[in-house]
Amino acid sequence: MDTPPVISTVNLVKIYQDGGVPVPAVRGVDLRVEPGEFVAIMGPSGSGKSTLVHMLGGLDVRTSGEIWLDGDRADTLGESAWALLRRRKIGFVFQFFNLVANMTVADNVELPALLAGASPREARERREQLLGALGLADRAGAAPAQLAGGEQQRVALARALANRPRLLLADEPTGNLDSRNTRDVLKLLGQVHRDGQTIVLVTHDARVAGLADRVVSLLDGQIVDDGALPVSRRRPRGGVGDVVELRG
């Protein structure tokens, strides 16, 4: 039997109410993501990207349409069932981190793995590996409030990956990073993707989107483009020098 897609949505719609005025944010999205795929969602602000990814993680309730995760209907679940599903299957990187304030960085990262049933040793090893890859090994004992925004964002990514989730969802995971820290995040995303991690992330950072297999573009709550990145026509061996020169 074929493995079902990790995500499948059918005519997904979200309409917010703004003082009694309906404001459509997502207007009929059909999206299918296969296991191991890396999908970047792009589009101008207000195009519905964040709303879409929040609905996929059960953090926002859909107005109509269907969400299927791993072949199971998810949009009909209640809040606690979603919480359980996230704990088991989904790592989520929020735009504003949402770290637990009164826990250390290390505990923030280990918690999801422990909740999912990993042994303390496994959780610690995974945490050390992730924080190391993100250049945060020496911040393990700090409290989130002691960290700069870019550091908190990287901790949030480590936490989301701690569990080796079936699905990584992220909303602008490099939005607060300088270019050096972005490089660490890119490297880690590339690495977990090569290891088979399914990733769906919202980004306007082209470096992040350039790692994806496929880009979905949203405009006014609808998908206006969905496809694989082409293999570039100019790809000289030994150096992509003329890619640089192109801009000259």
Partner 1 sequence: MRPFLLALLAKEPAHGYELKQALEQTFGSAYPSPNIGQIYVTLGRLEKDGLVRAVDVEQSNRPNKKVYYLTAAGREALDDWVDEPTEGPRVRDEFFMKLVLAPMTGIADRMALINRQRRHYLALMRDLNELAERTDPDNQVALLLIEGAMLHLQADLDWLERCQEDLS
Residues contributing to the site for partner 1 (CB under 8 A): 40, 42-44, 179, 183, 186-187, 190, 204-207, 209-212, 215, 217, 219, 224-225, 227, 229-232, 235-236, 238-247
Whose Cβ is closer to partner 1: residue 40's or residue 170's? 40
For residue 140, the SS3 value is: coil
Whose Cβ is closer to partner 1: residue 25's or residue 147's? 25
- For the CB of residue 208, give the shortest distance to partner 1 in the complex, in Å: 9
- For the CB of residue 75, give the shortest distance to partner 1 in the complex, in Å: 28
Q: For residues 146 and 174, give the distance between their C-alpha atoms in angstroms, rounded to a whole number.
A: 19
Whose Cβ is closer to partner 1: residue 123's or residue 201's? 201
- For the CB of residue 234, give the shortest distance to partner 1 in the complex, in Å: 8
- For the CB of residue 232, give the shortest distance to partner 1 in the complex, in Å: 5
Provide the terminal-to-terminal Cα distance of the chain, rounded to the nearest Å. Answer: 52
For residue 43, the SS3 value is: coil
- For the CB of residue 30, give the shortest distance to partner 1 in the complex, in Å: 17
φ/ψ (deg, to 5) at 246: -45, -40
- For the CB of residue 239, give the shortest distance to partner 1 in the complex, in Å: 4
Radius of gyration of the chain (CA): 19
Whose Cβ is closer to partner 1: residue 44's or residue 120's? 44
- For the CB of residue 179, give the shortest distance to partner 1 in the complex, in Å: 6
How many residues does this entry show for the chain? Answer: 248
Whose Cβ is closer to partner 1: residue 90's or residue 188's? 188
Decide: 131 and 158 in contact? Cβ < 8 Å. yes
Whose Cβ is closer to partner 1: residue 121's or residue 237's? 237
